[in-house]
Structures are given as structure tokens and as C-alpha cells.
């Protein structure tokens, strides 16, 4: 059974810092992995999708990497801003034909 | 291109009632998935519809049901509401079946409160 874990559960950083969010999964036989952000009480906003054949994807200040063999993905946020404050979720798509979500990392960027 | 829309945004119901939530996917998307989000359980998959057929189902009781129309719009229904059904219900659409359909796009959610 696929299990997805995100560490840390919460993170507080000063504005301008570069930071890394981690996502681990137990079954490496995945099809893709997607990163989302969620603002309080709102829906999920898709940030990046990485296919299993890819090693990384970049969008603006965001870079996501994927290492299937070790069951890990990282989301790197450069030069963090207060507007980046949100919950970040990773989700794995695989043999169960549904997305399995991690528990999320609550990020607070202090001005 | 318009995003995924969900109606209503907020609902208050009492125990025993039933409720219907609606989701309109992004134009051209054929797959619609529904999720329940609660503080204790996180995001849990309810079901996925594609070409008007339920293709996958999560571990929820039969009180939770859904359907998809020929224009890909989807509805989910919860009968005999329980207090524990209070949650944010999210729908997501993608071009094709999960995970083959690539990126999933989520709507703003429907906040259901059961009193």
C-alpha cells in the first residue's frame, strides 16, 4: 500500500530564505508526482507535475526533483516571500489509479 | 480557459438530510475526481468518473455516490448525513484517467457543515 509522508509538518522561515520541502513515498512504482499548494479554506493549486521518467521540473522560483529509486521528491523554493505562505502537498499517482496525498507541510514566511 | 468550478461553495445541513454537490471541469477534461478533506484524515479519494462511468472508488460507505453527465459535469450525493461528513469536498479534473491524464486541476471546494 502506497504511503506518502511529508517532513517537516510545519516550517517557519524569514523572507528571502531558500527552502526545501520533502516528500517520501513507500512504493517506487509510480507514474507521476504532483506538488500543490493550498491556502486556508481554499482548493488546491497545482504547482508542478513530474512524470516518472523525469528527474526535475522548474517553474519560476520553484524546482521539484524526483528520485524514484529512493522514494523521494523535494520542492525547492528560492527567495521565499510572505505570499508563499500556505500548505504544500505532494501527491503520487501510481498503480491504484488515484492520487495518494501526503499530509502536507505548513509553510510560514515571516516578513 | 475557465478553471474547475464547484457549487455551492458553502452548505449547512442537519443530520439525516441528503446533499448534492456539483462540479464543472475544465473544458476538454474528461475525468472528474472527488476528494474529501478533513483536519483529521487529510485528503481522501472518493471516486473518479470518466465518460459517464465510475472508474475508481475510494473506501467510503454507499451513502456517497456520484454521477457524470455527457458534458463531463459531475455531481456527488451524500445521503443520510452524519456529523462526520462535515468536510471540504474538492473536485478535480484532468484530460484523461488518473494518473495517465497528467496534471489534476482542483476547484475551490464546497464546505459542508452538518449540524
Residues of B in contact with A96 (CB under 8 A): 56
pLDDT value, residue B50: 94
Separation between Cα atoms, residue A80 and residue A77, nearest integer Å: 6
CA A32 to chain centre: 12
pLDDT value, residue B98: 81
Mean pLDDT value across residues B38-65: 94
Mean pLDDT value across residues A60-89: 97
pLDDT value, residue A94: 87
Q: Is the pLDDT of residue A70 over 80?
A: yes
Pick from A42, A91, A99: which is nearest to B109 by CB? Answer: A42
Mean pLDDT value across residues B37-59: 93
Mean pLDDT value across residues B1-8: 92
Separation between Cα atoms, residue B33 and residue B106, nearest integer Å: 9
Pick from A41, A44, A98: which is nearest to B106 by CB? Answer: A44
> Is A44 in Cβ contact with B99 (below 8 Å)?
no
pLDDT value, residue B113: 97
> Is A93 in Cβ contact with B33 (below 8 Å)?
no
pLDDT value, residue B62: 96
Mutation target to probe the B interface, by most B beta carbons within 10 A, among A25, A98, A100 is A98
Could you give the C-alpha distances from A32 to A37, A62, A75, B15, B44, in angstroms and in order? 17, 17, 15, 39, 18
| Contact (Cβ atoms closer than 8 angstroms) between residue B105 and residue B3 | yes
Proportion of chain A above pLDDT 90, given as a percent? 90
Separation between Cα atoms, residue A34 and residue A23, nearest integer Å: 10
Q: Is the pLDDT of residue B101 over 90?
A: no
Amino acid at each position: 500500500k502506497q504511503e506518502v509522508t511529508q517532513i517537516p509538518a510545519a516550517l517557519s522561515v524569514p523572507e528571502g530564505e531558500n527552502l526545501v520541502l520533502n516528500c517520501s513515498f513507500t512504493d517506487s512504482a509510480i507514474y507521476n508526482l504532483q506538488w500543490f499548494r493550498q491556502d486556508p479554506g481554499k482548493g488546491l493549486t497545482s504547482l508542478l507535475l513530474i512524470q516518472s521518467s523525469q528527474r526535475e521540473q522548474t517553474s519560476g522560483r520553484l524546482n521539484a526533483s524526483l528520485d524514484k529509486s529512493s522514494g523521494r521528491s523535494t520542492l525547492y523554493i528560492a527567495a521565499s516571500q510572505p505570499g508563499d505562505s500556505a500548505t504544500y502537498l505532494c501527491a503520487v499517482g501510481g498503480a491504484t489509479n488515484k492520487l495518494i496525498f501526503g499530509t502536507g507541510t505548513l509553510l510560514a514566511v515571516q516578513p | 480557459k475557465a478553471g474547475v468550478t464547484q457549487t455551492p461553495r458553502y452548505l449547512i445541513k442537519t443530520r439525516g438530510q441528503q446533499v448534492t454537490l456539483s462540479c464543472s471541469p475544465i473544458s476538454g477534461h474528461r475525468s472528474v475526481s472527488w476528494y474529501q478533506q478533513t483536519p483529521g484524515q487529510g485528503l481522501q479519494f472518493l471516486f473518479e468518473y470518466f465518460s459517464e462511468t465510475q472508474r475508481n472508488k475510494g473506501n467510503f460507505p454507499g451513502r456517497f455516490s456520484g454521477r457524470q453527465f455527457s458534458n463531463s459535469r459531475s455531481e456527488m450525493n451524500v445521503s443520510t448525513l452524519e456529523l462526520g461528513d462535515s468536510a471540504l469536498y474538492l473536485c478535480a479534473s484532468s484530460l484523461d484517467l488518473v494518473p495517465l491524464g497528467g496534471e489534476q486541476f482542483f476547484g475551490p471546494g464546497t464546505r459542508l457543515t452538518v449540524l
